Structure formats: structure tokens, C-alpha cells
Amino acid sequence: MLSIKDLPETIAVFPLPGALLLPRAKLPLHIFEPRYLAMLEDCLKTRTRLIGMIQPCSVPAGEAERLHRIGCVGRLTSFSETEDGRYMISLTGVSRFRTLGEVAIGEQPYRQARVDWSGFGRDLGKAETDPQLDRPAFLDLLRRYLEASSLSTEWDSLTEAEDELLINALSMLCPFSPEERQALLEAPSLATRRETLVTLMEFALRDTSGQTGETLQ
């Protein structure tokens, strides 16, 4: 378990639309671009093995890419190399961060940012609970959302999951838009994230025309 004193002031950041990493959750990634292969190699040389996941902002065509202010750093906890030099890796979420500005690129081809960890102290603690979670009502909404969206999942594992695992897994796996995923990331507490998740599922029930045949695992 990392503590605040273990977290650096500057981290490598991996801008990826639609990728959501939450504290204590796991995110699988496929690394193949040369700049991110270089990032991975440098990450493996460090003690903490941290990579910051962050989403680009939605901007009009022709404007320069901007990053959201808030992302989540993950610790590299597993990786395997393919025969053609690509990597399959897994990041375990450690803490959210707020970007203070990007660092000018030197020899490294990937992006780096100065970050502030304050305000996210609970991310480094134990798993959160949601005392106000009405589990029967939440699971009923989830069942209707999955059916309407032509999605399927291992229902038993979801119904038996602890509060944080249930809410965070659904936040990461449901096919929400990048901006909706950002709202889930920025939720200040597990209860707020659950409220946001409920709102998104209820909204999706009104218009599921774009959902076909995906599977939540």
C-alpha cells in the first residue's frame, strides 16, 4: 500500500479517451505505440511503477488537445509481452490527482505532468462503503439497464460484491461516454459515484438505440 509520501510530484500520463481507472480497481491495457512502450520501460525502472491515466477533453475540431484536470494514477501490477513486442498490462488504481501543468518533453517521447494529490486522501485508505445503498433497488435498475442495452454479465458475482467493487466495476465497465466516465471519476465519494451511476443508467434507459450485444465481464 502506497502512502502520500511515496507519490511523486511529476508522473508520466497516458491520455486515453474512455479509459476509466478508479482507486483499488484494475484496468487492463494493450500497449503498442512506441512512445508508450518507452513509457512502460521507464516505469519498470522505478520503485513505485506509476502511470497516470487521464482523459483528453472534448474540443472543437481544429483546437489543440487539452487534458482534463483530474485523472487517476495506477501502479503497474502485471504485464506480459507478445512475440511482436507489444505488452498486455494491468494497472491497479492508487489515487486520483489534479494536474498542475504539463512538463516540457525532453528525451522522453511521452507526456508528463506535475500533479497535486491533495483532496484525495480517502483514495489511499481502505475500501469505501455506501451505507445509503439500497441494494435491491439498485440491482433492479441494473437488471433493466442491462436488458435494455443488450448487455450481459455474471449476475451472481455482482449481487455478492462489496459496495465499492460493485459500484466501481460498473462505472468502469458500462459503455458510458468519455464525459460521463469523467463525472464518475470526479465523484468525491462512493455514494456520490453511485448516485451518478444511477442517473446515467436511468438516462440510458430512455435511449438505448446505440447498444448492441456487448458483454460486461
Indicate the average pLDDT of the chain: 90
Q: Could you tell me which residue, 188 or 158, shows the higher pLDDT? A: 188
- Model confidence band, residue 214 (pLDDT cutoffs 50, 70, 90): very low
The answer, yes or no, to whether residue 213 has pLDDT greater than 70, is no
> What pTM was computed for the model?
0.89
Pair (44, 102) in one structural domain: yes
Give the per-residue pLDDT at 137.
96
Domain coverage including residue 146: 135-206
Pair (115, 174) in one structural domain: no
Average pLDDT over residues 119-129: 93
The answer, yes or no, to whether residue 134 has pLDDT greater than 60, is yes
Pair (99, 148) in one structural domain: no
Burial status of residue 73 (CB atoms within 10 A of its CB: 0-12, 13-18, 19 or more): buried
Pair (115, 12) in one structural domain: yes
Domain CATH for 105: 2.30.130.40
Please identify, among 83, 99, 124, the residue that sits at the C-terminal boundary of a domain: 124
Give the per-residue pLDDT at 72.
98
Asked if the structure places residue 216 within a domain, the reply is no
Pair (149, 102) in one structural domain: no
Pair (181, 156) in one structural domain: yes
Pair (96, 14) in one structural domain: yes
For residue 173, what are the CA distances in angstroms to 20, 43, 107, 147, 197? 9, 26, 35, 15, 12
Burial status of residue 23 (CB atoms within 10 A of its CB: 0-12, 13-18, 19 or more): buried
